[in-house]
Amino acid sequence: MGRQGSVWFRFMVRDYNYALRQIRIGLDLLVGVVAFFLAYLFKKYGPWYYIHPTLFPYETTLRQVLLILVLVPVATVLALAHNKFYTSTRIYSLATIARQAAVSCFEGMVVCYAVLAIAGRLVNPPYYPSRGMVVLTAVFYFFLLLAKSLMLGRILKRLRQRGRNVRTLLLVGNGGPVKEFIQVVSSHPLWGFRIEGIVSDKLTAPNDETVEGVPVLGSLPQLFNVVQSRAIDEVIFLPCYITLDDLSPYLEGCEEMGVRASLSLNFYQPSIAKPLFERVKDIPLVCYSPTKEMNLALMFKYTFDRIAAAILLVIASPIMALTSLAIKLTSKRGEPVFFGQTRVGLNGRLFKLWKFRSMCVDADKDLEKLRAMSEVDGPVFKMRDDPRITPIGGFLRRWSIDELPQLFNVLRGEMSLVGPRPPTAPEVAQYDRWQRRRLSMKPGITCLWQVSGRSKLSFETWVKLDLQYIDNWSLLLDFKILLRTVVAVLKHEGAM
């Protein structure tokens, strides 16, 4: 079925067992309590108390003990639910479970510490939250969650090997989609699915008696008779010959009989986008998203962007004031200090990008005359010895000081600290279709290609690095790019 087929399989086989999910949630809350007591004992009697007694300088009061005991498990379980930890784990790898647990424990730790910090300042006398206790609890929680998941997974797999905890599926369809589905399920027997049979989605009698060793039990008009005569947990529609409109009565019939029905939408297999199920009031939608959906990590990124931009503007204000004065003193009367240019942002939104003016006034008018001398291919223009650059402008560009006003764009939410560089509208007009995808994430002051050679790279390499950033985005990647940007600026690597 391939990578996208596997994605669709995950999409169809959502959480099956409500009781099991409640047991898992209860176990995870209990695991959180155990993690807290292990952290408390480790902090109190751990070896580092004798090696480095000031590592945890604050005593944990009874009030903090109770808050941490309640907050960490509850916040982490809510984060686990948000990160889809409690959907069916039949087809999830250990790496996926570990990632969900790690992210959720981190989010629970942040929430707990934030609540403790706020609560500590609302009481009299104020107290400082015990960072050590919160961090240790989260760390123990992660490893205990992983151990619990491994143990529970082994128990469930043994039950499935004995024919317990198995879901019986009835497939409706024909040809390739049915064969691929059977092959995927057959290659993973410990997932706990048993295919009872196949109902052809033709209205006439089926030609084959079996498909991949699975019996064909009839044609579409016989579907409800087959369901009534057998113990079927779920009917999975993999349409081949029948249209979606013609399937409606059969989906409605399954609903009426109280049998779960899933519909494969594998008619389109995206190479990048991931299918997401959404609902607009009573209208169900399947969305193909080529970028990461807004989640806690992205919310943190954009919140951090604005806070960091505000702090950096305060820190850089002396440099910006001196730069403004230098530009003013080296310019003719009436010439502006700042240069504003319309750029293309997230999904084609236009905004005004600000820089310190490093070129002569009306430099854009001379652009076409110099176009043939561009040192970068594609629609962009880069020239090392650009005659339009002012004497002070060369210094500003060498140290990237001309980019500092873009912190105001970050503060306004038009840009991010890290992201694909915002192009001009004429550049976007020359993009190939695949190149336009670099607009699917908020533009940034620095990006992956700027720390991979900056202006020395070809335009196509720029775009490929931007898409690599979009497809593999993480907070850690942003942090690495920011650090590498500082090094690139200090070394003047590729600056133009």
Tens-digit pLDDT profile for residues 228-287: 999 898 999 998 888 878 888 999 999 888 888 988 877 677 777 777 777 787 787 778
| Between 146 and 59, the higher pLDDT residue | 146
pTM score: 0.64
Residue 380: pLDDT over 90: no
Given 140, 161, 182, which residue is the final one in a domain?
A: 161
One domain for residues 111 and 178: no
One domain for residues 139 and 261: no
Query: Once rounded to an integer, what is the mean pLDDT over residues 369-393?
Result: 79
Write the single-letter amino acid at 301: K
Q: How much of the chain, in percent, has pLDDT values that exceed 70?
A: 84
C-alpha distance from residue 459 to each of 382, 383, 431, 455 (Å): 10, 13, 11, 9
Q: Are the C-beta atoms of residues 169 and 178 closer than 8 Å to each other?
A: no
Half-sphere exposure of 187 (CA within 13 A, CB side): 10
CA distance 208 to 211: 7
pLDDT given for residue 12 in this prediction = 44
pLDDT given for residue 109 in this prediction = 86
Residue 10 covered by a domain: no
Query: Once rounded to an integer, what is the mean pLDDT over residues 72-83?
Result: 85
Confidence of residue 6 (pLDDT cuts 50, 70, 90): very low
Confidence of residue 340 (pLDDT cuts 50, 70, 90): very high
Q: Of 8-17, 95-104, 416-425, give the range with the top mean pLDDT.
A: 416-425
One domain for residues 451 and 391: yes
Report the candidate in 188, 248, 197 with the shortest Cα–Cα distance to residue 219. 197
One domain for residues 115 and 199: no
One domain for residues 41 and 172: no
Query: Once rounded to an integer, what is the mean pLDDT over residues 80-88?
Result: 76
Residue 270 covered by a domain: yes
Query: Once rounded to an integer, what is the mean pLDDT over residues 99-120?
Result: 83
Residue 9: pLDDT over 60: no
Q: Of 175-179, 412-416, 457-461, give the range with the top mean pLDDT.
A: 412-416
pLDDT given for residue 14 in this prediction = 40
- Print the domain residue range for 112: 18-161
One domain for residues 284 and 331: no
Query: Once rounded to an integer, what is the mean pLDDT over residues 414-434?
Result: 94
Given 133, 161, 189, which residue is the final one in a domain?
A: 161
Output the DSSP codes for 397-434: HHTTGGGTTHHHHHHTTS-EEESPPPPPHHHHHT--TG
Confidence of residue 90 (pLDDT cuts 50, 70, 90): low
Local structure of 154: helix, strand or coil: helix
> Which residues, other chains included, contact 340 with Cβ-Cβ below 8 Å and sequence gap of 6+?
352, 353, 354
Report the candidate in 135, 103, 164, 107 with the shortest Cα–Cα distance to residue 35. 135
Q: How much of the chain, in percent, has pLDDT values that exceed 90?
A: 32
> Which residues, other chains included, contact 261 with Cβ-Cβ below 8 Å and sequence gap of 6+?
234, 235, 236, 237, 251, 254, 255
**Overall domain count for the chain:** 3
Given 289, 311, 339, which residue is the final one in a domain?
A: 289
One domain for residues 231 and 117: no
Residue 206 covered by a domain: yes
CA distance 229 to 233: 12
Local structure of 81: helix, strand or coil: helix
Confidence of residue 7 (pLDDT cuts 50, 70, 90): very low
Residue 149: pLDDT over 80: yes
pLDDT given for residue 443 in this prediction = 96
pLDDT given for residue 108 in this prediction = 85
Residue 13: pLDDT over 50: no
Residue 4 covered by a domain: no
> Which residues, other chains included, contact 359 with Cβ-Cβ below 8 Å and sequence gap of 6+?
339, 386, 388, 389, 390, 393
* In the block, residue with structure tokens 């970050």: 410
The sign one gets for the Cα dihedral 367, 372, 373, 376 is positive
One domain for residues 325 and 473: yes
